[in-house]
């Protein structure tokens, strides 16, 4: 994406990337399955792509406006926290 400048601010695209490491490949896949169905409520102006490789979940956003990007990332982080908290509750205990 082109950097935003005073001359092109109406045509620039904002991008944000997040890499979330999990403790196992199965946890990364579970997170992908839980978080993928959430579509953006707004048509146009933003896109979100989720992929998993090994035990890492990769999330990439592209948006036309900072406000929309901020809302989408914030909402995703809330959902991600809930998924991670739930996985922690159901994770088998570690042998001592």
**Domains of the chain with CATH codes:** 14-90 (3.30.310.50)
Q: How does DSSP assign 39-94, residue by residue?
A: --SSSSSEEEEEEEETTEEEEEEEESSHHHHHHHHHHHHHHHHHHHHHHHHHSPPP
Report the side by side order of strands in the sheet with 56-63.
14-21, 56-63, 46-53
pLDDT of residue 76: 95
Beta strands in the chain (DSSP E): 14-21, 46-53, 56-63
C-alpha Rg value of the chain to the nearest Å: 16
pLDDT of residue 42: 61
pLDDT of residue 12: 83
Per-residue pLDDT of the chain (96 residues; tens, 9 = 90+): 455 655 655 568 999 999 999 999 999 999 999 998 656 566 678 999 999 999 999 999 999 999 999 999 999 999 999 999 999 998 877 777
pLDDT of residue 86: 95
């Amino acid at each position: 994406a082109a950097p935003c400048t005073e001359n092109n601010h109406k045509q620039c695209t904002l991008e944000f990337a997040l890499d979330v490491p999990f403790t196992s490949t199965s946890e990364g896949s579970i997170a992908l399955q839980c978080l993928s169905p959430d579509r953006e409520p707004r048509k146009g102006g933003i896109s979100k792509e989720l992929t998993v490789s090994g035990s890492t979940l990769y999330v990439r956003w592209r948006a036309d406006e900072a406000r929309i990007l901020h809302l989408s990332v914030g909402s995703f982080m809330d959902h991600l926290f809930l998924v991670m908290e739930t996985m922690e509750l159901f994770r088998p205990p570690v042998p001592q």
